[in-house]
Amino acid sequence: MLHEFKWGLNRYLDQDMDLAQARSRSLGDVINYNIKHPVPEGYNQVTLLRSELTNGLGNKTYLGYREQNQNAARRYLNSLMKNYNLDAIATPSENEDSSSFPASYSTAAIAGYPIINVGV
């Protein structure tokens, strides 16, 4: 997540912001702005700081593992769909005690497949 976050935020700030009005052009700029302009309740920048330590999507090891995970998730979901002649898969996303079933939605996300959550 940290690699993707840095890449996506930097891309958004670089491409989708009006240069004349933009205060922050990168994740580093956001972190520095938050340090220079503290609010009474403070900023929890743990994710920002950890993400800034990565090189975004320039890490070949990360990209290799991401590709392996994506391919494995696709093979798994494709085999379910084919073996059981399915058009869709419906699974709960939460228990009665509000604990989640991460595999029910994270596998589709990892595969890059669409998913719809329906509240019950």
Which SS3 state, helix, strand or coil, does residue 62 take?
A: helix
State how far the Cα of 19 lies from the Cα of 29, in Å rounded to an integer. 14
CA dist., res. 30 & res. 28, Å (int): 5
What pTM, to 2 d.p., does this model score? 0.67
pLDDT tens, position by position, 2-44: 999 999 999 988 875 565 566 788 999 999 988 998 888 877 8
